[in-house]
Amino acid sequence: MDIRTILVNLDVDFYSPHILESAAGLATLLGAKIIGLGALEPSDAVASFAGVVDRAHSYAEARLKIETSIEGLANEFQQRIPAKLQLAWHGVIRSPNDALLALASKADLVLTTTPRRKDVSRHRTLDAGELLMSLGRPLLAIGTETTEVSLGRIVIGWKDTREARRAVADALPLLNLAEELIILTVNEGEDSIEPVSPHPLDGWLLQHGMKARHEVIPTDGDSAGVALQRFARTVDADLIVAGAYGHSRTREWLFGGMTRELLDAETANRLLSN
């Protein structure tokens, strides 16, 4: 699969021009076009005041502020993304998750930032965990200071599971551009920590003209997600690729430790897929 369209979510409350810089560079590298999205809606709190007139006035004020913010993001998109890379802009008064899901079928890859605050209403900012379970597309979350998505060295967090296989397949266009691929297994208590040879991915990667080296590391008392991120920093990795493991229980998205830690990471670039 080629990546021809990148859907970029511009977080209204946490907007940083870094995401548009990253999107433009990645689109140029992949020969892709960019769809920009800015979405926000008034929170439930707007409707909680007593009196119909007060509620209507509060809602109108909140909506006007949102429209102004979205207009500002549209201008940012137009100015920072070269015209030749622009495919479309969508600015809507809707929750970011719902707005993004409505456009997901138009994209091959979704690009987001990682909000610094975790206590913000889904009316105002993207819930990446909820999104991942419904998206049907790979999600590339960039670090807060990332201005360019480099692909020189990519670490694949590997378990022989459906989610990991899906993530590697989704990341194939990016893996093809890497100078070095490292398949990393985090040992979580198994007796042996020796690399398996041949690795389950070796033959598949060779069919696509790629080779990778294998590493198996212990957790050293940390969680698997922390160990994975520590290794990625040690080797100066540009991107982590991993499967996202979770399930829904009455609209609450529950994740394993590694997935939650990768979702919350602020410094690493992570491609996650479910």
Q: Is the pLDDT of residue 249 over 60?
A: no
Give Cα 19 distance to the centre of its chain.
11
| CATH of the domain spanning 5-141, picked from 3.40.50.620, 1.20.1560.10, 3.40.250.10, 3.40.190.10 | 3.40.50.620
Q: Do 5-141 and 153-273 share a fold? A: yes
Q: Quick: pLDDT tens for 192-226.
A: 555 566 788 999 999 999 999 999 999 888 888 88
Q: In this predicted model, what pLDDT tens digit does every residue of 147-174 receive, in sequence order?
A: 999 999 999 999 889 999 999 999 999 9
How far is residue 170's CA from residue 166's CA, in Å, rounded to a whole number? 6
Arch. (CATH architecture) of 153-273? 3-Layer(aba) Sandwich (3.40)
b or e along 65-93 (b: 16 or more beta carbons within 10 Å of the residue's beta carbon)?
ebeebbeebbebbeeebeeebbbebbbbe
Each domain of the chain, given as residue ranges in start order, spans 5-141, 153-273
pLDDT digits (tens, 9 = 90+) for 93-120: 999 999 999 999 999 999 999 766 565 6
- The predicted model scores a pTM of 0.90
